[in-house]
Structure 1
Amino acid sequence: MRRTGQAPPPPAPAAALEGPDGRSPVAGGGRSGRRDTLRTEFAFELPRGYVDETGAVHRTGVMRLATARDELVPLRDDRVRENTAYLSVVLIARVVTRIGTIDDIHPGVIEDLFASDLAFLQDFYRRINAEGHTRAAVTCPSCDEEFAVDLAGGRLGES
């Protein structure tokens, strides 16, 4: 038996599938017909900053969402097998795409971060991958007022 009818339209080119911000939309869209986009990259500002070999300080950067591969591949790394604490260094190096003007992020760059910056990136990683956002609940030490701070934003006290 042969069916007749129009052939389905060809798939849209990749550019047509991107949202207004250049990211791919997530399936669905709800009743409004609006297509939601999945945010996969998050900007951050390091507390101290990465100091490169010339002495320049790089404070801003971008971290992308982790994939299953990002979490599995470091487990095969010999440095991680010898010292499990090194796992976070390799993992963070895989998901940070830029620090300042440096685009080649590798474990050596992450090793040279100040401890407070590494701790910040570990917490930032956990927030965007486990919780899906970069906000943190804080309490003012003077007035006990509770409010949320966006860790991806500027430094505390700046607007």
Structure 2
Amino acid sequence: MSDLHIRPADAGDLPEIVAMLADDPLGATRESPDDLTPYLRALERLADDPNQYQVVAERDGRVVGTLQLTVIAGISRRGATRSVIEGVRVHADERGSGLGTRLIQWAIDESGRQGCQLVQLTSDATRTDAQRFYERLGFTASHVGFKMSLEGGS
């Protein structure tokens, strides 16, 4: 995998990123690859925040993976800084190649460089393969997550 390059995402990467986000039963119901406008606004917000990292994995000029890493300062755990990994996706023809492991290892390494004491992520309860993958990488299913959708929220 020496030909793999992990770099910050840019607006030109959005079609590939959104296509990967939409390429599963869950993503197909919540993503809109035909209208990139909201994704462009989101990418601009991420780029303006020094605690946000939206990255892509690129091989031979082709985007083949992506993830978002957020660094969060906190008071709990004796003032620990933590990171959150979100939106991990690997292109369908790259699954099983070790690319997901490389992306997660990049996020763990970057978290360490940012002084984080904890790396966390969530995975939808229906994504059993992803859960096994994260456990193989050393993550522990330690919490129950809750979400609330805010329709029209800004």
> By the TM > 0.5 criterion, same fold?
no
Larger radius of gyration: 1
Alignment TM-score, normalising by the size of structure 1? 0.26
Alignment TM-score, normalising by the size of structure 2? 0.26
